[in-house]
Structure 1
């Protein structure tokens, strides 16, 4: 915890990058805590809000809504949930028929009860419950869908539930979760796999993807290690229900996986600050980035592999301005990371980004925050990642220093400093070095050097150094040896 407090103190500053555009601020009746976006061929964005809508016949915070908007922020509510048709929707996917499909975490029964539902809605807002889960304490259906289903190459939809299934014990009466198939023609749900607390993982917690090999891939939050409460797992399953454990992960994934053209899979873990990891086709696991607070904290959402080859993601906490705010980050496969935007709990741009980013038809990034905005119910935003931030790079020379000696850091700006100069803030995430808290790049200049003093230490340490302005920043490392 002390490291977190140091991070907050080091990176206290208020500013909003100009590449961020607020498109909509949720008010409650139109939704609250949106869960991300999809974009259709006509350029319209569609999404779901977990809360908001009807607060009279549903939860005090509402059962959620479905909505659409355009890139200018023209917003329309398509559906308001009332429990009997489900509540707390998890997002949308567009089917091959042009309609939208999704799931709700709970509800779906005429009484308002139930363990969640699969639904369909067309672009005009015509809504229909297609299947209501009965899981929970009743064998052997699923309970609590964890995200919108995907439509696989065979035309059926596939997804996971966080509870239910055929296996349960005295301590887990609600079951350990399932993988299911939904046939949109017959309306039949088939449970392909019930997680069994026996080494295959349990509590799947994210949507599936269909890999290049045709298998469906997903993750469980827990299920390995002593007493089966250790790190989560990655798995694959074919459309016939043949299940394979792919890897035991070093953490608890919440986001699921993405696959890149080279066949590798990438995902995020929470716990101990969180991480980004890579899995190769053989299930070999490696870390790409371990978060320290300044670059974000406990990412919980899928990465986006954008057209420029970079990975983009969000963290609901951490960042360079306010530890409670969260951030947008960019990462390459080698682990080089930049913070593109830092949220604050007092800013009108929202905070706590809570979904996978998408790349719009215009090339920019679009996403949502779960909290904040004008009405404090979350926001929809656009972020143009192609506009360079004020700080282009920070380097150190030498990069390996014997303790007690000095090194030199160099800040490079993306463009000449304005009249009056530009203040660039500096921070180090560990105590083995001493650097200025900020430096000023003089007007018209693009570079500024600073001195790095190292302390006497007994063991080698690699320290991250951040340079940032207006909530955008870059980092480098210096290694101090005894």
Structure 2
């Protein structure tokens, strides 16, 4: 090998010395060409980064309420989470009107479109609860929820709607009452629960009530699995309710067990607060709304909060924002509070005439795995669904409007929160409209879809008997919602490959225009390295022989004919030294030369050298028309 390496460098030296025969004019043109290519590449990247997302969502009405025994949603959806979804894509929700007893209904809408009333609530003097508000679903399929009225309390007069309840519906459809509020004198245990519940790992339920408590400003409560109710905090405990009052939404629990929430009223300015209740029971106001002129930071946070892994909180307000000039309440804001309680307005609603961009967000955000937020507004024509991405860009995904739907067949006023399935489809409820509508309608359940695809494989594990061999699997692309764009597998399609492994696809692009499209994924491994390696010192010698020694021609004195030409040649050599590509890679200075297997199409190398035995997690990503989907495979090299 040593003799081979020396011979290789000797030939390289002879080759590089022969470069002396090139003319200076040609080399200048070559360098200019390299510069132009580099600049052109940078321009291309800049254009790609400047591309903006284009939303294309289509609404489908999944169910139209009649207002009869099937129920009737109302504007009291504002601020709660009206739908939940299970792993099969079935939807569950509540209406606080209609139903067999006119007190609301708890329903299920399955993936085939079949609508079923699971429980009907009564209207007045209802021990089992009346006017359900929101639901949660645990991993075993049990539904928990609250009702705004009803209950078996002792301290609300007969003939009223009651104080509210906490209920349970098990997976067999059995309904049971877990707690009736106002069970204590003066309703110190709370009155009118409205927001969604939170369940911890021990089965305890946590929530808020709008009224009641020690100061009649609302409460934060806990209900354990045995049915024991306790008050964690009573609002309006401080003078002038500067700690907040009347929480409308539920709580957000972080990984440490701390609770965060919003109060619609109270605070230093009287326009609501964001609060924290830690595991030791200490209550802290994190922010007071309307702390800025004209409430440009927002006012009246009806909706709850969502958080991220970094400890940031996100939410919205119903009014306020810099569109509030004092002559109008403003269209609300989307905000962020970081771990140090720094408050930032992410977006101000109602910045366009007639709030064409949406105004008065009505319910809590949902957050996807990429950090994008989705929500609804009840202003902006007849309501809108929007997206606020992780970079702060605001996009209207759908507008409910009589302009393109004069009969409101597709609904209006999407007051409830959204839910998202595993494929990115959004679901929600609107409080009016529908194909069976009388007057302005009784409401709808709708979905919003955008063209997408799913990526899968016929084998999730690829086993290679020994390094140096290949393994394959068939990758399938399944279009959804009319997706018909070309999907390309680029050089970065495979990640997580071991040393000496590469992947390729045949073909390297597919178009699922008429159904499922397939491509073959080939993972190749390397048995032994075919490198011609050079130690750093030897590479230094090679560079010296190739460039430095010939460049000494510059110092030859002008005593003979032609010395001036030689000096020009020396200057050209100095220019060559500037180009690392020609100077090093062209003459063996780049290190090892390796050979790895691979198929046709695009490929991504995993490094040089032999592939070590082991088990690896490989991620394969497909991209088409701005949509990217990924799947995980297991690679076993024996």
TM-score by length of 1: 0.69
Q: Shift of residue 113 of structure 1?
A: 4.6
Maintained 8 Å contact 1:365/1:385:
no
Distance 1:283 1:386 in 2: 39
Aligned to 1:31: 71
Say which of 46, 49, 52 aligns to 2:98: 52
Mean Cα deviation higher: 331-340 or 250-259: 331-340
- Aligned residue for 2:331, secondary structure, equals coil
Distance 2:364 2:170 in 1: 26
- Aligned residue for 1:180, secondary structure, equals strand
Q: Shift of residue 63 of structure 1?
A: 1.2
Aligned to 2:412: 351
Distance 2:57 2:305 in 1: 31
Q: 1:189 to 1:240 in 2, by over 3 A?
A: farther
Say which of 391, 396, 413 aligns to 1:339: 396
User: Structure 1 residue 180 and structure 2 residue 221: aligned?
Assistant: yes
Aligned to 1:3: none
Aligned to 1:300: 362
Q: 1:212 to 1:32 in 2, by over 3 A?
A: same
Q: 1:156 to 1:240 in 2, by over 3 A?
A: farther
Higher RCO structure, 1 or 2 (CA under 8 Å, sep 6+)? 1
Distance 1:210 1:351 in 2: 32
Say which of 96, 104, 110 aligns to 1:64: 104
Distance 2:356 2:452 in 1: 21
Say which of 132, 138, 145 aligns to 1:102: 145
Q: 1:332 to 1:18 in 2, by over 3 A?
A: closer
Deviations 1:31-58 (A, max 9, x none): 1117521112233211111211135xxx
Say which of 284, 289, 292 aligns to 2:342: 284
User: Structure 1 residue 86 and structure 2 residue 125: aligned?
Assistant: no
Structure 2, unpaired ranges of 5+: 1-55, 290-296, 320-329, 454-483, 485-638
Say which of 332, 341, 360 aligns to 1:274: 332
Q: Matches of residues 148-227 of structure 1 in structure 2 within 5 Å?
A: 148-167=196-215, 175-184=216-225, 186-196=226-236, 197-226=240-269
Q: 1:103 to 1:297 in 2, by over 3 A?
A: same
Distance 1:157 1:355 in 2: 22
Maintained 8 Å contact 1:180/1:191:
yes
Q: 1:53 to 1:347 in 2, by over 3 A?
A: same
User: Structure 1 residue 75 and structure 2 residue 115: aligned?
Assistant: yes
Q: 1:348 to 1:326 in 2, by over 3 A?
A: same
Distance 2:249 2:184 in 1: 18
Aligned to 2:88: 42
- Aligned residue for 1:270, secondary structure, equals coil
Q: Shift of residue 136 of structure 1?
A: 9.7
Q: Shift of residue 311 of structure 1?
A: 1.3
How many residues are treated as equivalent by the alignment?
Answer: 353
Maintained 8 Å contact 1:288/1:334:
no
Q: Shift of residue 366 of structure 1?
A: 0.9
- Aligned residue for 1:138, secondary structure, equals helix
Distance 2:424 2:397 in 1: 16
- Aligned residue for 2:133, secondary structure, equals strand
Maintained 8 Å contact 1:206/1:254:
yes
The structure with the greater share of residues assigned to strand is: 1
Runs of 4+ in 1 over 6 A off after TM superposition: none
Maintained 8 Å contact 1:277/1:287:
yes
- Aligned residue for 2:422, secondary structure, equals coil
Distance 1:94 1:268 in 2: 24
Distance 2:211 2:71 in 1: 26
- Aligned residue for 2:302, secondary structure, equals strand
Q: Shift of residue 232 of structure 1?
A: 1.0
User: Structure 1 residue 242 and structure 2 residue 282: aligned?
Assistant: yes
Q: Shift of residue 24 of structure 1?
A: 0.4
Mean Cα deviation higher: 66-75 or 266-275: 66-75
Aligned to 1:434: none
Say which of 376, 381, 386 aligns to 1:329: 386
Q: 1:239 to 1:95 in 2, by over 3 A?
A: farther
Q: 1:143 to 1:108 in 2, by over 3 A?
A: same
Distance 2:187 2:375 in 1: 38
Maintained 8 Å contact 1:353/1:370:
yes
Structure with bigger gyration radius = 2
Q: Shift of residue 240 of structure 1?
A: 4.8
Maintained 8 Å contact 2:371/2:390:
no
Deviations 1:63-90 (A, max 9, x none): 1100001233211110000141111111
Q: 1:294 to 1:282 in 2, by over 3 A?
A: same
Aligned to 1:147: 195
Q: 1:102 to 1:135 in 2, by over 3 A?
A: same
TM-score by length of 2: 0.53
Distance 2:264 2:311 in 1: 23
Aligned to 1:377: 442
Maintained 8 Å contact 2:208/2:218:
yes
Q: Shift of residue 289 of structure 1?
A: 0.8
